Structure formats: structure tokens, C-alpha cells
Amino acid sequence: MFLISGEDDSSNLLSSNYSRIPGLETNSELIVGGISSPVANPLLTATVEPTVPTVDFVSASSLDQARDVGFSKMKQILQIFAADPEFADKIELVFGDNLDPEKLQSLKQDWLTGELIEFPENEILYQPEIAGGNGAFDQKNAKIYFAQEFLEANTKNPDVIADVGLEEYGHFIDSLLNSSDTPGDEGEHFAAVVQGKILTHTELAAIQAEDDTATVVIDGQTLVIEKAANTVSLTTPDANAAEVLSGQTANPGRFTVTRTGITTNALTVNYTVGGTATKGTDYSNLTGSVTIPIGATTANIPITVIDDTSIEGSETSVVTLSTSTAYDLGTAKTGTVTIADNEGRSHCSH
């Protein structure tokens, strides 16, 4: 049973702070039920000041409930993971082998019981307050933050909320087990491992090289947070394209956009195009955006070459990923495809 009390919410698993919604005072809230069946108790009351008539208490309550269901899903996942015979090995894979064994054993027992005694405070903030992330962890105050916009978009998707919650909880676990922050986005790695996701070598390398930190100001404090957000990068697996004569095998080039982080939603990535090649004359596509589908980590950007009659030599098409509030940019964000000219040749080989 989860109990949220207005008298001492700092000690409760599901305590949250809605101080940034003016005029809203939550007196008490009770969530009753098993892990998979939380229900709202009618004892929940609120006082709305008449000077702020636009406050939507139902919305705030639904966000709390969405978050709480996500936490319940987290408890289920951690309980199953703690019973894994390879529990210790998998934890070391994420956080290294120089861990405090007593704390690790205590965490395992905590997860097996489903109580989550070792759990940080949590708060719902607006997304810009946590540098555009869906969630974040503040080690200084040992607090997890969720973006209100993220919860609003996923009130019916507890798995998505649990995924972000596990990532931020992973940062908290790292702070308990290690004296210094594990390199990369150890929270994302933790979330993947406890959910049984298989990471490719490329995905794991990207996670371990990722800088997921941001500096923000919350309640007058300047804080360094670790945030949950998609990070996108660009590679050029086929950097050579060429004009070909009619009837010959096409020889396109290809860029690939890769994301780390949440894959339960489609993600549109924007880009700009430069180089010496000209759209409509040297190639026919490159629209300025590509969408990574739900469940996928990559999307290709092929470059379809147009054969013209001009003798122009090799030309280039340069794609550069654009910034967005929907994702962070990785280190690799620019790629080049070279288009070979076929004038004066009878054929072109790849």
C-alpha cells in the first residue's frame, strides 16, 4: 500500500511537489491496491484559490496517478530482476565491480520484497526546468524529477513512465553504490538491463560515451542533473554514391540516424543539407527530416542520385542534424556522401 500524507511527504515513496502550480494545495491523497491495480481514494481533497480559476486539479491528480502506476510497474520489474541468478554480474556490468557489497545485498532484498525502501523523493516540474528532459535525477538533493509534459503525453502508457523512472532510479543507485559517477548514461544502461533489453555493441558504446548532464536552476539552487532524453547521432555507412546510366544498378549513398533512450514513441529528427551537390539536379530526396519508428533505434536517410549530362566531377552532400527540444545531439552529428560523376564513362561501379 502506498500512503501519501500532507504532513510528512518527504519520507514517502510517492511524495511530489506541485508548488509550481499556483493556487493548488493538496491536503491528502491515498492510493490503495496491489502492484498492478492502484485506485484513487475519494478522501483526496484540494483547495483552489478563487484568484486562479484556470488551475485544473483533475489534471494534476491524473498526473500523480500516472506517475504512481509507473512506479508500481517499476517495482514489478525490479522484483523480477532481483530474483535473477545473474543479478550481481548484471549490476556490475552497469556500475562496475568496485561496489559496496553490503549496500548491494540490501538493495536486492529491498527489490525482492517490493517495498523500495531506498527510494529518493520525486517532484513533477515543467520540462524546460529540467533542460528539456522527460525525467532527471539531482544527486545533490537525491531527488527524481518528472516532466509534466511527459506525464501528460503518457497517462495511458505506464511502461513508458516506468522506463524513464528506472533510468533516473539507476542514477540514484549509482550514487549509493559508487563514490563517483559512472561514465556515460549509467541510468539508461540500468533501465535496459533490468528490463532484459539486449543492447548492440553500437548502442552500448553510445550509452557509455553519452554526456547526459545539464546545469539547471531549481528553487534558487544551481544543480547538475542527469536527464532522460533521446540522444541522436549521425553516421554515414555508405559514403559513396554515383550517377549511373539508365538500366544500370542504382548506386545511392546513405546516412543513418541512431537514437539512444526511449523507443516507445516515434521520434522525428530534423537536419539541414549542404555541400556542393544540388537538390533536384544531383539528387531527388533529402527532405530535412526523418522519423525513427516506434520500437526502433535507427532510421536511414538514403540519397537518390540523379544522372545528368553535365561534366562536373565529384560533388558532395553534407547532412547536419539540427537541435530540438525533443532530443539531444550526440558527438557525431554531421556526415558527408560523395557523388561521383559518370560523364565520359560507360558504367559506374560501387
CB atoms within 10 A of CB 222: 9
The domain spans of the chain are 2-228, 231-340
Residue 234 grid cell: 549521425
**Per-residue pLDDT at 9 exceeds 90:** no
CB atoms within 10 A of CB 283: 24
| pLDDT tens-digit map of 103-113 | 999 999 999 99
Q: Which residue has the cell 510528512?
A: 8
- Give 343's Cβ-side CA count (13 Å radius): 11
Cα separation values, 245 from 127, 190, 251, 348, Å: 52, 51, 10, 8
pLDDT band of 227, cuts 50, 70, 90:
confident
- For 58, counting Cβ atoms within 10 Å of its Cβ (0-12 exposed, 13-18 middle, 19+ buried), the class is exposed
What's the distance, CA 177 to chain centroid?
23
- Domain 231-340 maps to which CATH number in 2.60.40.2030, 3.40.50.10320, 1.10.3720.10, 3.40.640.10? 2.60.40.2030
Cβ atoms of 339 and 302 within 8 Å: the answer is no
**Distance separating alpha carbons of residues 194 and 197, to the nearest angstrom:** 8
**Distance separating alpha carbons of residues 151 and 160, to the nearest angstrom:** 9
Q: Residue 306 phi/psi, 5° resolution?
A: -105, 130
pTM over 0.85: no
| pLDDT tens-digit map of 101-138 | 889 999 999 999 987 888 899 999 998 999 888 999 99
**Per-residue pLDDT at 193 exceeds 90:** yes
What is the reported pLDDT for 29? 38
